[in-house]
Structure 1
Amino acid sequence: MHIIEDFLVKRDKGYYCSYGDFYIDPLYPVKHAVVSHAHGDHASPGHKNIYSTQGTASIMKYRYNKQPVESFHIKEFGEFFQINGVDIYFYPAGHILGSAQILMVYKGVRYLYTGDYKLQEDSTCEPLEFVEAEVLITETTFANPNTKHPDPVSEILKLDVKSNILLGCYALGKAQRITAMLNQHLPHKEVLLHYQIMPIHRIYDQFIDIPMKYEAYNRKSMKGPGENKIYLVPPLTLNSYRRAKNVLKAFASGWERLQAQNDISLYLSDHVDWQDILYFIDRVKPKAIWTLHGDGRLLHDYFSEQITIRDIQSQTFRPDYC
C-alpha cells in the first residue's frame, strides 16, 4: 500500500484530484465536480458534470435554477461510480440533508473526504456512517480541546420561555433541525418561517419521515397576542431586526462570538467538536490524516507522534454554517 501524498491538493477552484481529473466542492466552474453537500461554501453552479446525492441535487436545483438538469449525476449512498479510473462512493455525513462523505479508492488505497459532518442526532438528515480508510481528510472547524458542544435537547429547552422569540439561523440545515426539535420537545411553540427559509423546508418535507409543523410568517401573527411564537429568520434578517420589541433574540450557532448580543444563548452546531473528532478518527482507523476547513494545528499537535498528519490548505478560518 502506497499513499499518494498529492492525491488531493488545494487549487484556486477547489480541492483537486489529478489522478481522476475531478474537483471536490469546487467554488468555480469545472468539468467534473463531486459535491459533498449543498451549503454555498461547498456547492456552486456552472459545472459541466455534478456528482452528488439526491438531497444535495434537489437543493442545488432550487438554488441554481439555471444549472442544466442534465449536468447532475445523482448517486445513492453506498453506490459505486467511477471518474477517470478513481472509484468513488458516498456515505452519510450527518451534517444536513444529503450531506456525504466521499470515499475515493485508487490503487488499493482508500481516501475519505468527510465534508462537514456531525455525530449528534438529527432527525432531518441521514445519520453519519463510519467508514474505515487509510487516509482521512477531515474538516477542523471546531478542532480545539476547549470546544465541547452541549446537549442539543438541553439547548432547545432554553427556548421554553414566556415570550415570543426571534431566532436567527441558517436557512439550510439549521432551520430544519431546529423546527424538528421544537416540534418534538416544545410542541406548544408555534414555528414561523421567514420567506427565504420556507422553500428549503418544502424540499426537506419530500425526504424526511417525520413531518415538520410550521407556518409562514406574517406580521399580524407575530404582533398578535400570545407568547409561544418562534420566528426563524436568516442571519442578515436577525441583524436588521435588532431593535424589534417584545421579543427575545437568539442565534443558533456553535460559535461563542455569535451569542454576545442575544437574550438567549443557543449553542447548536452541525459540526463535530473535539471529542467527536477523536472518536471519529478512532473509528476510521487512518494511517494518515489530512486536515482542511479550519485551524487544524491543535489536532496536529495531538496526533504528531501517533499518525502522519498534515494540512493540505493554508486557510485557517472560514465563516460557516455552524
Structure 2
Amino acid sequence: MILDDFLVPTKIGLFCAYGGFYLDPKEIVKDAVISHAHADHAITGNINVYCTEATSLFMKQRYKKFAAGEFHVFAFQQPFTLNEVKISFVPAGHMLGSALVLMEYKGIRYLYTGDYKLQPDATCEPIEFVKADVLITETTFANPDTSHPDAEEEIRKLSTTQSNIMLGAYALGKSQRLIRLISDHCPEKRILVHHSILPFVKVYESLGVNMGKYEVYDRKVMKANPAGMIYLVPPLVYRSYIRAINVVRVFATGWKHLQNNNELQLYISDHVDWKDIILTIEQVQPLQVWTTHGSGVQLKEHFQNILDVKLLN
C-alpha cells in the first residue's frame, strides 16, 4: 500500500519519517540524502550526507572542511538502508553524479528525481529509467508550452558571430556542459574559463570526463584577440559586467526572462521540459505522481481522471 505520508514537505525539505532522513534539505539535519551538488539541493554542514562520489567531491570543493560531518558515498545501483528504507541511486542526467533516489519500503517503490534531464550530455551519466509505484518529480518547466530546443543546435549560434563573447553560466554543471559543447560544435572558438569555474572543471577531469579544449582566462589574451574568443563566467561576474564593451553578451539558460537584454539568446536547459516529464511518467509507469520543485498544477490537470497526481509544494 502506498503511504501518503512517506514523504512529508516541511520548511526544511522533504522528510521521510520511516527512514529518518531528509531529501536535499535546506537546513542542517542529521541525515541528508543528496540528489546532486547544486547549492539549492546540497547545503553545507549536514551531519551525515548520503550521495554519489561526484556529488561528495563537488561539495568538498565548494564547502571545504564544512561540507559535511561525514560522507557516505555510494555507487549507482549500490543499495543501502536507513532504518527500514532501502535506498539506491540511479543516474539522473542533470549533471555529473546527479541521482534519482529510489526508496523501497514495505514492497512499495518511491522514486525521487531531484533535478533531471533527458537530453544527451557528454559530461555526465545519461538518465536511467526504473519502474516505481510513486514518481516524485521536479516540475521546474512543467508547462505544455515549454519545449527545450536541441542543445547542439543552440550552441552553434555562437558561431554566427565573429565578435568576442561573454558567456554567462552556472559554475557547476552548466559550465562544464558548455565547454564540451563548444569544443565539439564550435571548434573555431577559443574558450577562456573564469578562475572560479576551473576547480569544478578539474573535478570533472579527475573523474575521467573529457572536457575538450579550453584555457584559463587571461585578460591580455582577450584584449589581444578582438574576435573568436568566448569568456565563460559565472552569473555574478556576468551581472557585474553589464556594460562590458566589445563583447556579445550571452547567458545560457532555459528561462526566457533571463534572456532579456542579451544580444544572443542561448536556450540550453539542464531540466526536463513538458514532453520529457510525460515520457518519464510513461517509462516509470507509476500508480501515483507527486510533484515538487515547481508547479504541478498543469500536470495534475493533464492527467485528470487518468493518473493520481499530488502536489507536494
Distance 2:207 2:217 in 1: 23
Corresponding position of 2:240? 240
**CA displacement at 1:38 relative to structure 2:** 0.2
Write out per-residue CA displacement over residues 76-98 of structure 1, whole angstroms, 9 at most, x where no aligned residue.
Answer: 00001000110000000000110
Q: 1:288–1:68: structure 2 CA closer, same or farther, 3 Å change rule? A: closer
Aligned equivalents of 1:256 and 1:192: distance in 2? 26
SS in 1 for 2:29: coil
Give per-residue Cα distances to partners, 1:60-111, cap 9 Å, x unaligned. 0111112377600000000010001100000000001100000000000000
Distance, in Å, in 1 between the alignment partners of 2:11 and 2:208 is 36
The equivalent residue for 1:141 is 140
In structure 1, what residue type is equivalent to 2:18? Y
Structure 2: how far apart are the matches of 1:119 and 1:69?
30
TM-superposed deviation, 1:209: 3.8
Q: Could you tell me how far 1:206 is from its partner in structure 2?
A: 1.2
Which residue number corresponds to residue 320 of structure 1?
Answer: none
| Contact 2:140 2:294 (8 Å CA) reproduced | yes
- How much identity, in percent, do the aligned residues show? 52
CA contact (8 A) 1:125 1:208 kept: no
Amino acid paired to 1:210: N
1:248-287 alignment to 2 at 5 Å?
248-287=248-287
Deviations 1:144-194 (A, max 9, x none): 000000111110000002111000100000000000001111112111111
Rounded Cα–Cα distance in structure 2 between residues aligned with 1:68 and 1:149 = 33
1:226 deviates by 4.1
Higher mean displacement: 222-231 or 208-217: 208-217
1:13 aligns with 2:12: yes
Q: What residue is the counterpart of 1:317 in the other structure?
A: none
Provide runs of 4+ in structure 1 moved above 6 Å: none
Which AA in structure 2 matches 1:297?
V
AA aligned to 1:22 is F
Q: Which moved more, 1:241-250 or 1:266-275?
A: 241-250
2:82 maps to 83
Residues 12-63 of structure 1: CA distance to partner in whole angstroms, max 9, x if unpaired? 2211000011011011111110000000000011111100000000000111
Partner of 1:82, secondary structure, is: strand
Q: Alpha carbons of 1:44 and 1:137: their partners in 2 closer, same or farther (altered >3 Å)?
A: same
In structure 2, the residue corresponding to 1:71 is in which secondary structure?
strand
Amino acid at match of 1:42: H
Call closer, same or farther: CA 1:68–1:164 in 2, change over 3 Å: closer
Counterpart of 2:177 in structure 1 is 177
Report the equivalent of 1:210. 210
Specify whether residues 170 and 245 from structure 1 end up closer, same or farther in structure 2 by C-alpha distance, changes over 3 A only: same
Q: Output one character per residue of 1:105-137: Cα deviation in whole Å (capped at 9) or x when no partner.
A: 000000000010000000101100001100000
- Per the TM alignment, residue 304 of structure 1 is displaced from its structure 2 partner at its CA by 1.8
2:153 maps to what in 1?
154
Contact persistence 2:129–2:284 (CA under 8 A): yes
Whichever residue aligns with residue 187 of structure 1, its letter is: P
- Tell me by how many angstroms 1:212 deviates: 2.6
Distance of 1:68 and 1:193 partners within structure 2 = 25
Letter in 1 for 2:49: I
Q: Secondary structure at the match of 2:138?
A: strand
5+ unaligned residues in a row in structure 2: which ranges?
none
Moved more, 11-20 or 33-42: 11-20
